[in-house]
Amino acid sequence: MTEPITVRRVGADEAAACIEPLADVLIDCVEGGASVSFMLPLPREKATHFWRGVADGVARGERVLLIAQDREGQILGTVQIILSMPDNQPHRADVAKMLVHRRARRRGVAQRLLAALDDAARAQGKTVLVLDTVTGGDAERLYERAGWQRAGVVPKYALMPDGAFCGTTFFYKHL
């Protein structure tokens, strides 16, 4: 990794200002075949609507949004912590939408996002994190390297963007 990368948490106003570049990252990932809630084709309007909802969630204090940027400020990747939980799980959070643009992959951007995510979760008083990802996908190795524990697989849990079933692996991490 030669190019400097900055990873940081963004507030509600900045999240709202980043909707278009975040939509670029989401669309790129879905077009690259990632199963991250959306099907192909993913219209830009749908992608921007999703990020508007995320920015609103950040404004309400329900989500933490992290972004990774290059030297020019271009958004390379992102991940979220969903803080809002039932009353009996105040110590837990879900991790969602780990996305790195294809042109920025295999340079440690996701690894950096995960390290920052742990710090941000701890700062929110969260000690148990949960996420799910496509079984057999590249992200499984990433999470295991970052100390996440594999809880199990649910076959046919979701669809790939082209409509094929995919299994989902659930991971957790105790901070």
Ligand X SMILES: CC(C)(COP(=O)(O)OP(=O)(O)OC[C@H]1O[C@@H](n2cnc3c(N)ncnc32)[C@H](O)[C@@H]1OP(=O)(O)O)[C@@H](O)C(=O)NCCC(=O)NCCS
Helix (H, G, I), strand (E, B) or coil at 103: helix
- Sequence-separated (6 or more) residues with CB below 8 Å from residue 43: none
Q: What is the smallest separation between the CB atom of 151 and ligand X, expressed in angstroms?
A: 14
How far apart are alpha carbons 55 and 65 in whole angstroms?
8
Region from 15-23, 58-66, 94-102, 153-161 binding ligand X, contact rule CB under 6 A: 94-102
Q: What is the smallest separation between the CB atom of 15 and ligand X, expressed in angstroms?
A: 19
Q: For the chain, how are helix, strand and coil distributed in percent, rounded to 5?
A: 35, 35, 35
End-to-end CA distance of the chain: 27
Region from 28-36, 39-47, 116-124, 148-156 binding ligand X, contact rule CB under 6 A: 28-36
Find the binder of ligand X among 10, 23, 66, 99 (CB under 6 A).
Answer: 99
With contact defined as beta carbons under 8 Å apart, do 12 and 58 qualify? yes
Region from 3-11, 12-20, 105-113, 160-168 binding ligand X, contact rule CB under 6 A: 105-113
Give me the residues that bind ligand X (CB under 6 A), please.
1, 29, 34, 36, 77, 98-100, 105-111, 133, 137-139, 141-142
